[in-house]
Amino acid sequence: MTCSVCSGSVERAVLALDGVDSAQVNLLTATMTVTYDESKVSPEQICNEVEDIGFEAFVRQETTASNIKPTIPDDGFVPRLIWSWSLLIPLMVLSMGPMWGLNLDWFPGGTLGQGWVQLALCLPILWVNRSFFIRGFSTLIKLDPTMDSLVAIGSLASVISGLISLFTYSGEHHLPLYFESAAMILTLVTLGKYLEHRAKGKTSKALDMLRNLIPDTITLVDENGNETQVDTSSVQVGQLIRILPGQRIPLDGEIYQGITSVDESSITGESLPVDKNPGDPVTSGTMNCSGSIIVRAKKVGADTTISQMIQMVENAAGSKAPIARIADKVSRFFVPSVMAIALITFALWLLLYKDLSVATNMGISVLVISCPCALGLATPTAIMVATGKGANLGLLFRSAESLELTHTIDTVLLDKTGTITSGTPSVNSVYLLQEGTYLAVDQLLSEENHVPSTLSLAMGLEKMVNHPLANAIVNYCAMLEVSPSPISSCENLPGMGITAQVEGSTVSMGNANLMEMQNIIIPALPALPAPKAPGARVYMSRDKEILAVFDISDSVRADSIQAIAELHARGLKVYMVTGDSQEAGEYIGKQVNVDKVYAQVLPANKERIVSQLVQEGHRVAMVGDGINDSPALSSATVGVAIGGGADIAVEAADVVLMHSTIADLVKAYDLSGKTVRTIRRGLFWALFYNSICIPLAAGVLYLPLGIALNPMIAAGAMSLSSVSVVLNALSLRGFSPEARK
């Protein structure tokens, strides 16, 4: 299957079978789930029905979500395009050459010889693109025509008309051939299908990237303490495994032995690592940052958090209703109507004039002039121009569906960490304890010209630690052009901090637990100023006395406030959803002026919030940057990923903001709206053209005024209609995003 029209045809064909209760096609994984009465229909009959409309099908063995491999059919686009373009160019030269001023009188066989060569060039193009005819006529026979049916009928009508001209040519009249029309239709539509295929292929990587979070092997620890490397899939509930620093946790469990800090951003979206002690739970897909730990398995295989996320992504992708294309809806009535008009025209003129050639010309004129090229080009040409324009603006639309849907949203859900905020911990403020008073470093620097030496010592210590909070302090000191003090030896205390001996003194940096363990009292009076934003505090001490306090938290992106104001100006509701605390969520929410804040939300609940809003009738855009956002991205009407975020979020999304700013969501919304308006305008003119030209081709003016359209004029009119649709689409190149005042 190459598009949602194909999957819809498959569903309808199977649903028509007696005994089938439901059929749901997942275009992403090329699978179909069918509920049926086995006393009335068999899986073999279901597969045969799918094959009858031009596709292949087989019964898949039972499996789990964790090992389903998405498959996007290739359909041989590249060799088809190479053959098509290679033959189309000389075909166009022969057919259009005289109109371009080329002298072809030298050609062997003259006009008739050129005609047979054109046929010889056209037939291979028809053959390599025969899938249009197979699927188009198969669905037409089932009375469920698709765009393939329109393409097949239009190109075949042109070929038949050309063949009639060849076989009836007497050398006394112009030789009207339409082989180039058939070849051009097939080649352009194939090109559009190829571009859609490429976009779809990238989207399918999302599930594989989720699976790659789990290592293939794991270190199993037996009751005697012996360690063995085994396959991750073989681990049973209750067994012990060792996780070293820097390794991902492959299952859900609890810490049996060891102390560490765990980066849970893949699950909660929170950038700050979480300290873990024996008895604390750990989740599959998270990263062990510092200490070596032993974990007791609680959930394995398909029951783990990551496996459930894989299942959610797949289910959401499969249950998302495909957009109902206007052209496809029209085609279900347009194609049989045109065929009926052509047959009636042929019969009436045969009865009136008793002349087979006149009747044939009239019937073929109807088919040729009503060729669905304009109707078929209205959407893909506009989509092609819009996606190119979007790329120039840093907007990546994964498919035509996402481009068409983006302008319909009325609600925007923004992930906090990495979307509204930078996603990287940074130092907000630093206080030095001097003579019983906390003094802000910013104030000291404004009054003095030198940087306190305490910061050099802090930088030297934290350079010995590989931890996000330590990196934030090092970056802060580097910004002040501080040189780190040399540290010869130190002790890293996982989940707490670091201690070192410096010039005979014990210097420590870490959280309040480290200070408490070392019996260091944190002075309460005068009170330490409240942090500017919810986050973490790192204390620094020398010989049992506090020297400094570092407040560290995430920060709002510079353009988030303006972007949210622009979304409000377009009448959209903007909500923030985060796995962080209520305090941190409310703090950021007030800064950027969102309408509502959902805090302490885990991945399953993020997806549930999106699904609930969709069920209530809202058209939701979910914007995120983390692995934890992928199920919600797939469940939303439009999933939008920040380009600088995790690869899994980018691959699971419908739209990617390559400049990593939600300000580009406004551009995507506006571009989508203009694109849809352009598509509708193109479809209107294509349908208007058909409503005027089909009666003319049928000869309604021939009897009263003697005006008739022969197939050559009809083909010219059809070409002009296609050109007008393309020119309409090219107007999108002038799109320019503007802020609303």
Q: What is the CATH number of the domain that holds 278?
A: 2.70.150.10
Nearest partner of 370 among 688, 88, 122, judged by Cα: 688
What pLDDT was estimated at residue 535?
75
Whether 112 and 182 map to the same domain: the answer is: yes
321 — pLDDT class (breaks 50, 70, 90)? very low
State how far the Cα of 147 lies from the Cα of 145, in Å rounded to an integer: 7
What's the full length of the chain, in residues?
741
What pLDDT was estimated at residue 203?
43
Expressed as residue numbers, the domain containing 727 is 323-392+673-741
What pLDDT was estimated at residue 28?
53
Q: For residue 211, give every residue at least 6 positions away whose Cβ sits within 8 Å of its Cβ, in sequence order, or none.
A: 66, 67, 306, 310
Structural domain includes residue 438 = yes
Tokens 């390559």, located at residue = 658
Per mean pLDDT, which range of 135-139, 174-178, 252-256, 336-340 is the poorest?
174-178
Q: Which residue has the higher pLDDT, 719 or 535?
A: 535
Whether 197 and 67 map to the same domain: the answer is: yes
**pLDDT of 666 higher than 90:** yes
Whether 444 and 544 map to the same domain: the answer is: yes
**pLDDT tens for residues 416-456?**
877 888 777 889 889 998 877 888 888 888 776 678 889 99
**pLDDT of 143 higher than 50:** yes
SS3 of residue 660 by DSSP: coil
**pLDDT tens for residues 250-262?**
999 999 999 999 9
**Mean pLDDT of the 361-369 span:** 72
Structural domain includes residue 535 = yes
H/E element, 313: helix 305-319
Whether 518 and 590 map to the same domain: the answer is: no
Which of 41, 60, 79 corresponds to the end of one domain?
Answer: 60
pTM above 0.85, yes or no: no
What pLDDT was estimated at residue 478?
92
CB 653 within 8 A of CB 665: no
**pLDDT tens for residues 203-234?**
445 456 667 778 888 999 998 889 999 988 88
| Residue of 415, 580, 625, 664 marked catalytic | 415
**pLDDT of 317 higher than 50:** no
* Most confidently modeled range among 522-531, 623-632, 636-645, 660-669: 660-669
State how far the Cα of 45 lies from the Cα of 40, in Å rounded to an integer: 10
**pLDDT of 669 higher than 90:** yes
**pLDDT of 569 higher than 70:** yes
**603 preceded by cis ω (within 30°)?**
no
How much of the chain exceeds pLDDT 90, in percent? 28
What pLDDT was estimated at residue 146?
67
Torsion of CA 115, 116, 121, 126, to 10 degrees: 100
The pair of structure tokens assigned to 123 is 């037939």
The pair of structure tokens assigned to 392 is 């120039």
Which of 303, 337, 362 corresponds to the end of one domain?
Answer: 303
CB 414 within 8 A of CB 633: no
Whether 263 and 329 map to the same domain: the answer is: no
* Most confidently modeled range among 8-22, 65-79, 143-157, 342-356: 8-22
Structural domain includes residue 667 = no
Structural domain includes residue 476 = no
Whether 82 and 171 map to the same domain: the answer is: yes
CB 74 within 8 A of CB 196: no
Per mean pLDDT, which range of 307-321, 385-399, 497-511, 645-659 is the poorest?
307-321
What pLDDT was estimated at residue 331?
57
**pLDDT of 3 higher than 60:** no
What pLDDT was estimated at residue 323?
37
**pLDDT of 645 higher than 60:** no
CB 626 within 8 A of CB 640: no
Per mean pLDDT, which range of 591-595, 615-619, 692-696 is the poorest?
692-696
Task: Tell the burial category of 89 from Cβ atoms under 10 Å away from its Cβ (0-12, 13-18, 19+).
Answer: exposed
What pLDDT was estimated at residue 435?
79
State how far the Cα of 187 lies from the Cα of 80, in Å rounded to an integer: 8
Which of 607, 623, 658 corresponds to the end of one domain?
Answer: 658
**pLDDT of 586 higher than 80:** yes
State how far the Cα of 544 lies from the Cα of 56, in Å rounded to an integer: 74
278 — pLDDT class (breaks 50, 70, 90)? very high
**pLDDT of 527 higher than 70:** no
Per mean pLDDT, which range of 116-120, 560-564, 677-681 is the poorest?
677-681
State how far the Cα of 411 lies from the Cα of 614, in Å rounded to an integer: 10
> Please, what sign has the CA dihedral across residues 25, 30, 32, 33?
negative
Structural domain includes residue 479 = no
Whether 445 and 522 map to the same domain: the answer is: yes
Whether 333 and 459 map to the same domain: the answer is: no
Structural domain includes residue 132 = yes
State how far the Cα of 399 lies from the Cα of 338, in Å rounded to an integer: 30
* Average of per-residue pLDDT values in the chain: 80
What pLDDT was estimated at residue 70?
46
Q: Which residue has the higher pLDDT, 75 or 678?
A: 678
Q: What is the CATH number of the domain that holds 37?
A: 3.30.70.100
Whether 178 and 71 map to the same domain: the answer is: yes
The pair of structure tokens assigned to 728 is 């309409």
Structural domain includes residue 314 = no
What pLDDT was estimated at residue 313?
53
What pLDDT was estimated at residue 42?
94
Tokens 């056209």, located at residue = 122
Q: Which residue has the higher pLDDT, 178 or 65?
A: 178
Q: Which residue has the higher pLDDT, 385 or 70?
A: 385
Q: What is the CATH number of the domain that holds 582?
A: 3.40.50.1000
Whether 268 and 383 map to the same domain: the answer is: no
Q: What is the CATH number of the domain that holds 509?
A: 3.40.1110.10
159 — pLDDT class (breaks 50, 70, 90)? confident
Whether 351 and 400 map to the same domain: the answer is: no
Decide if 415 is catalytic: yes
* Most confidently modeled range among 35-39, 209-213, 709-713: 35-39
**pLDDT of 246 higher than 50:** yes
Number of H helices, E strands in the chain: 25, 25
Whether 591 and 607 map to the same domain: the answer is: yes
Q: How many domains does the chain have?
A: 6
724 — pLDDT class (breaks 50, 70, 90)? confident
729 — pLDDT class (breaks 50, 70, 90)? confident
**pLDDT tens for residues 536-554?**
889 999 998 999 999 988 8
Structural domain includes residue 498 = yes
State how far the Cα of 181 lies from the Cα of 160, in Å rounded to an integer: 12
The pair of structure tokens assigned to 642 is 């920040």
**Mean pLDDT of the 62-86 span:** 67
107 — pLDDT class (breaks 50, 70, 90)? confident
**pLDDT tens for residues 39-49?**
999 999 999 99
